[in-house]
Structure 1
Amino acid sequence: MKIRTILVFLFIIVSGYLFFQYQKYSSRPMPTELHPIVEESKEELVKQADEIGISIIITDSFRSAEEQDAIYQQGRETEGTIVTYAQGGESYHNYGLAIDFALQTNENNVIWDLEYDGNQNGESDWMEVVEIAKDLGFTWGGDFTRFKDYPHLQMDFGLSIRELKWGKRPEDVID
């Protein structure tokens, strides 16, 4: 009986704490653009890639929950292949914390070729961009274990999607 009482008591404490955390941040509006640090790092990524002869374009950055839902429907209710498993509010793009990129060839073709070596240095341009991105603080979607998202780069600032949904923002954890 004592153990059950202790477990109930712990459950009440944890539930109260979680409720308090939710209430503390829940009134915050959703972001409408890239977080300033992500924006600055995106620009630096493009610049550093260009300096080593690699042209990249940012194919996606901030997207609304509605835009996310439309992308989620691709390959499900609309034509195309499935490109995401995240519905609206479940992607770091929805909080201004993610970007997607592609390579641009000398002929101005946009490609997602992980083996392409346009600067002809014997290394994959894609992986060179990924290394620059990681040095700038991005996490690469190609390292994800469940769904490899090779064009995806994000900065989560240690925040989970659940915390972001609750209204917590990077400013709450970086100071």
Structure 2
Amino acid sequence: MRNTTSIFSTWIIIILFLVLLFTLYNQQNKKYEHQGKDASIPSELHPLVEEQIDKVIEEAEKINIEVVITDTLRTFEEQEALYEQGRTTEGNIVTHAEGGESYHNYGLAIDYALSDQDGDIIWDIAYDGNNNGERDWFEVANIAKDLGFEWGGDWENFKDYPHLQMTFGLSIRELQNGLRPKTEQEGEEVDN
């Protein structure tokens, strides 16, 4: 019993030490700010996310792909309604994230679609409107990844092809606990 208590105490000390190191590292880098558990939820996209998505659109236009942003910041209520789709309301399941569990809720994610030659919004991931032999959807995803986004189409358990996010190295739990990426650092944008 004494050996078990000693091992448990050692692990507690190690975990507390790692949490302290993480906190000190973040404060030293000043990439994040801790706003506390009652932190307000952003009312717009993070400036770097907005800037980079504009670049995605511009780069896609250069190769004759028209990107349409279909969703950006979501309230917890909007996220909860999407989560209920296919569960307690009609439709297909489109997310596994409940309210407060999506990067959309913190202004760090967007969803996109494409516009075809007739100007209609399409969700066809096989569409090759610029006739270069590559799927336009994946071309856009690659542009976005080159600009620092993570793409939901790369997820193993649930492919979310319209989804792009910048996490800034923060988990959902950290965001829920009030940690936020700073919008500027000494006059410069924060790197992802």
TM-score relative to the length of structure 2: 0.81
**Equivalent in the alignment of 2:64:** 53
- Counterpart check, 1:111 vs 2:102: no
Counterpart amino acid of 1:93?
H
The alignment partner of 1:103 has SS state of strand
- For 1:152 and 1:77, the matched residues in 2 are separated by 23
Give the match for residue 62 of structure 1: 73
2:119 counterpart letter in structure 1: N
Name 1:154's counterpart in structure 2.
Answer: 165
Task: Give the stretch that moved more between structures: 81-90 or 163-172.
Answer: 163-172
Runs of 5+ consecutive residues of structure 1 not aligned to the other structure: none
CA distance in 1, matches of 2:181, 2:109: 13
How far apart, in 2, do the equivalents of 1:24 and 1:108 lie? 43
- Runs ≥4 residues deviating over 3 A: 12-19, 172-175
* Partners of 1:74 and 1:12 in 2: CA distance: 43
* Maintained 8 Å contact 2:44/2:107: yes
- Structure 1's 118 and 169: CA in aligned 2 closer, same or farther, altered over 3 A? same
2-side partners of 1:69 and 1:12: how far apart? 37
Identity %: 54
Once residues 18 and 125 of structure 2 are traced to their aligned partners in structure 1, the CA distance between those partners, rounded to angstroms, is: 45
Is 1:8 matched up with 2:34? Answer: no
Q: How does 1:1-175 map to 2 (within 5 A)?
A: 1-8=2-9, 10-11=11-12, 14=15, 25-171=36-182, 174=190
Task: Let me know the Cα RMSD of the aligned residues.
Answer: 2.4
Report the residue type matching 1:136 in the other structure. L
Segments of 5+ residues of structure 2 without an aligned counterpart are 24-33
Give the match for residue 28 of structure 2.
none
TM-score (norm 1): 0.89
What is the deviation of 1:5?
3.0
> Aligned-pair distance for 1:145?
1.2
Higher RCO (CA 8 Å, separation ≥ 6 residues): 2
What whole-Å deviation, never above 9, does each CA across 1:19-66 have from its counterpart, x for those lacking one?
Answer: 9x7x87323211111100001111111111111100010010110111
Quote the Cα distance in structure 1 between the aligned partners of 2:120 and 2:35. Answer: 47
Rate the CA distance shift 1:8–1:170 in 2: closer, same or farther, 3 A: same
